[in-house]
Amino acid sequence: MNIKSKTAAYLSLSLLIIILSGILISFAADQYQQQREQMVRTQLQNRGITDQKTLEAMRTTERHKFIPGNQKRHAYEDRPLPIGYGQTISQPYIVAFMTQIIEPKSHYRVLEIGTGSGYQAAVLAEIVDEVYTIEIIEELGNHAIEVLDKLNYNNAHVKIADGYYGWEEHAPFDAIVVTAAAEHIPPPLVKQLKDGGKMIIPVGSPFRVQQLMLVEKKNDQLTTKNLMPVRFVPFRRADD
């Protein structure tokens, strides 16, 4: 072979490799897309999640990108998964339930306590204008910042702090989603909830069954409703 035909052979081989890896990558992406569709049908719609915005956000948000490498293949299974530092990403149904219950509107500003992987924040960010989310474990917070940034969730803002105190500068919030189990409803969060706003929070002792509670604020009066028994990781305090 002369130089010219050798170069041509190399070029066509490289082209073939590029095309093949493109096909492989889109095949893998398609696999995840199919798993998400199935998750929405079997885990969410079959169990009474009906809010269209919530279902669409669950269809769009790439859950597997928020999950550590060794767990990725379980991303769309019907269960919580470990995300490191003793913490977990909630089961898809719980994420959808907590999203639906606040009746998210596009103009909403939502506060989340317990960023963890950043997945619940991303689901919310698909629907509402601004999401403010607080994580107490620095490494998890920094990782979530990185993932949310890479996926262009520019409307999700992460702060590393004790979420007990909320995020005063951006209050009041149309809704608050707490994803760690608190022994009581933190008063600063009640204060930062808009009048007419809703907060969803698991309340109870750590490592025991807790109650997922819906807290509504109307004319400065609070009403609370127990929705279902749940098991969340504990709400930690900065001095724990």
Identity of the residue, 116 or 197, whose beta carbon is nearer to ligand SAH in the bound complex: 116
Distance from C-alpha of 14 to C-alpha of 10, rounded to nearest angstrom: 6
**Residue 54: both structure tokens together:** 């919530």
Identity of the residue, 162 or 216, whose beta carbon is nearer to ligand SAH in the bound complex: 162
Longest distance between any two alpha carbons in the chain, whole Å: 86
- Distance in Å, CB of 117 to ligand SAH, minimum: 3
Distance from C-alpha of 61 to C-alpha of 55, rounded to nearest angstrom: 10
What is the H or E stretch that residue 219 is in?
Answer: none
Helix, strand or coil for residue 79? coil
Task: State the residues that interact with ligand SAH by CB under 6 A.
Answer: 87-90, 113-114, 116-117, 119-120, 134-137, 140, 162-164, 179-180, 233, 235-237
Query: Catalytic pick from 90, 106, 117, 205?
Result: 90
Q: Please name which of 84, 45, 44 lies closest in space to residue 67, comparing C-alpha atoms.
A: 84
- Distance in Å, CB of 137 to ligand SAH, minimum: 4
Identity of the residue, 121 or 215, whose beta carbon is nearer to ligand SAH in the bound complex: 121
Distance from C-alpha of 111 to C-alpha of 102, rounded to nearest angstrom: 11
Instruction: Enter the DSSP assignment of 114.
Output: -
Identity of the residue, 55 or 125, whose beta carbon is nearer to ligand SAH in the bound complex: 125
Distance from C-alpha of 68 to C-alpha of 74, rounded to nearest angstrom: 10
Identity of the residue, 163 or 204, whose beta carbon is nearer to ligand SAH in the bound complex: 163
Concerning whether 26 is annotated as a catalytic residue, the answer is no
Cβ atoms of 111 and 192 within 8 Å: the answer is: yes
- Which residues is 133 bridged to in the sheet? 112, 158
Distance from C-alpha of 13 to C-alpha of 148, rounded to nearest angstrom: 36
- Distance in Å, CB of 236 to ligand SAH, minimum: 4
**Residue 212: both structure tokens together:** 């997922």
- Distance in Å, CB of 219 to ligand SAH, minimum: 29
Give the active site residues. 90
